[in-house]
Amino acid sequence: MFIPRIGEENDAQFEPGMLRRGLDFAGLVNKKSFGLTLLLFACVLYLSYSFNSCLVANLNRALRQQRSHGGLLSYVGTASTPVIRVPESREHGIKKETVVRVVPLTWTGVQDPASMNGNETSDLVDGSPKYRFLRHQGLRPTRKLPDALIIGVKKGGTRALLEFIRLHPDVRAAGSEIHFFDRFHDKGFQWYRHHMPPTLEGQLTMEKTPSYFVTREVPQRVHEMNPATKLLVVVRDPVTRAISDYTQVSSKKPGMLRFEELAFLNGTGGSGLVDTSWGPVKIGVYARHLERWLHCFPLEQMLFVSGERLIVDPAAEMARVQVWVYLSFSIGIRD
């Protein structure tokens, strides 16, 4: 068979049969290529579907095993929880650090207690896998009134204490300040209970509202709820606390008078007479407020936590708290 090349001058001509056979051959090749491509695509699709099915099955099996073996309760001592190490100091050549294992807590508290009325009695509970597993076992968590209260003081370190204590697996705490005993007491204990997180048998329910400590009516109201309530008070150097309080307020009120103009009776501090009726100073006169609480509760039911030690030695201070509220020791120092 002779095929002429472009540019060559010759008189060769294609035979009709030759052209037809060439076209048939090209069509056959195209059909085979399309078939092979289709077959290859089907194989890839099948392998992809099989791989994804196996992956999903393995994930589901792993989740079921995790829920059955470790989903009932989370313990701080388990190796699966992330670790936070806070370096502290060296004593006698030994390096100390605070070791905290973070236990996931899904309760975030009520965003705005004032926006909820007494008729809202939602029975929603924690939607985490742990509690879904418990409901299947007939161990549905319930809401209850708090066993312990962080009652003060403002700018003393109450938020730090709450965040530390919430790391404990046996503690469930409302995430926001409920202000039940000083603002919403007329709504009743049923309203208060529905602002508490769902808890299991044996878990400690807590709430933090710093203004409780300085509000006159609160001690008697807490006693009416439960005379055995444990009370935690975070105290701090009164001067440092007052300055911190003033700084927070003045940052929201431009043009506010200087601290010394408000803290002293003559506005200069020259006479040394402190105005104890001014809010930031008044809160720091701890003895005045403590006297009202001691009329309703014995001193043994109150724990005074040092706001300064929560900063410089948090592990030691949290050890005191855990012992006092009868919690297992879960936050400590590793040498």
**Judging by beta carbons within 10 Å of its beta carbon (0-12, 13-18, 19+), is residue 252 exposed, middle or buried?**
exposed
Q: Is residue 236 a known part of a binding site?
A: yes
DSSP designation for 168: S
> Under a CB-based contact definition with an 8 Å cutoff, are residues 207 and 150 in contact?
yes
Question: Is 32 a catalytic site residue?
Answer: no
Strand ranges (E), the chain: 83-91, 94-101, 148-152, 171-173, 204-208, 230-235, 302-306, 332-334
DSSP designation for 186: G
Q: Is residue 85 a known part of a binding site?
A: no
3-state class (DSSP) for residue 149: strand
Q: Is residue 244 a known part of a binding site?
A: yes
Separation between Cα atoms, residue 266 and residue 253, nearest integer Å? 22
Give me the residue label for tokens 């508490």.
196
> Under a CB-based contact definition with an 8 Å cutoff, are residues 319 and 332 in contact?
yes
First to last CA, the chain: 93
Q: How far is CA 179 from CA 150, 207, 304, in A?
A: 12, 9, 21
Tokens of 159: 């938020």
For 189-193, the CB contacts below 8 A with 24+ separation are 189/145, 189/225, 190/118, 190/121, 191/116, 191/117, 191/118, 192/145, 193/143, 193/144, 193/145
Q: Is residue 157 a known part of a binding site?
A: yes
Which amino acid belongs to residue 299?
L
Output the CA angle 212-214-219, nearest 5 degrees.
55
Active-site choice (96, 144, 154, 155) = 155
* Interstrand relation of 94-101 and 83-91 (parallel, antiparallel or unpaired): antiparallel
Binding residues for 3'-phosphoadenylyl sulfate: 155-159, 236, 244
Active site residues: 155
